[in-house]
Amino acid sequence: MDKFNKLSVENEELFKKVYREIRQNPRFKECDKYISHGNTSVKTHVITVTLLALNLSEKLKIKVDKIKLIRGALLHDFYLYDWHDKKLIELHGFHHPKKAVREALKDYNLSEIEIDIIKHHMFPLTYNAPKSREARLLCIADKICAWGETVDGKLAYLVS
């Protein structure tokens, strides 16, 4: 697993640049208030998913638009509510991708690839498969991180 842990200098710099842009929005900071899986905040989750997706694209030599991958990954769970509320928990997995797209479009100009990433990251729970390489890669990275957060309860081995 070691070879998947470290970002290249180029990817690290690109991640930092895009992350600085995304986090300027005060609503993105709200992601710290909500829990994704286990006891992991949405903000920590989306950062971890982004870093893993970047690592996978590099190590597996999958050609992607890295800026669009980073932006879409950072915004893939931009739904801004506590889905653990008993009224929301049952349908959250089905509905939050569309909610995240709607919320992200209020604050960011999104490309088709970024929308694809956000809208289809819950496949196969939702029936529409991701179309782009970036969205398929994010979908896989999201499942790996969700597993780590839910079952293992730790993420350090993915991004340290």
Average per-residue pLDDT in the chain? 78
pTM of the model: 0.80
CATH number at residue 72: 1.10.3210
Characterize 63-92 residue by residue with b for buried, 16 or more Cβ atoms within 10 angstroms of its Cβ, and e for exposed: ebbbbbbbbbbbbbbbbbeebeeeeeeeeb
Q: How many domains does the chain have?
A: 1
| Parent domain of 60 | 2-153
Q: Is 110 inside a domain boundary?
A: yes
Q: Is 159 inside a domain boundary?
A: no
Q: Is 50 inside a domain boundary?
A: yes
Q: CA nearest 55: which of 94, 11, 100?
A: 11
- Whether the per-residue pLDDT at 136 is higher than 90: the answer is yes
- Whether the per-residue pLDDT at 62 is higher than 50: the answer is yes
Q: Is 124 inside a domain boundary?
A: yes
pLDDT in tens, 65-110: 999 999 999 998 876 545 445 555 455 455 667 777 888 888 999 9
Q: How far apart are CA 127 and CA 50, in angstroms?
A: 23
- Whether the per-residue pLDDT at 45 is higher than 70: the answer is yes
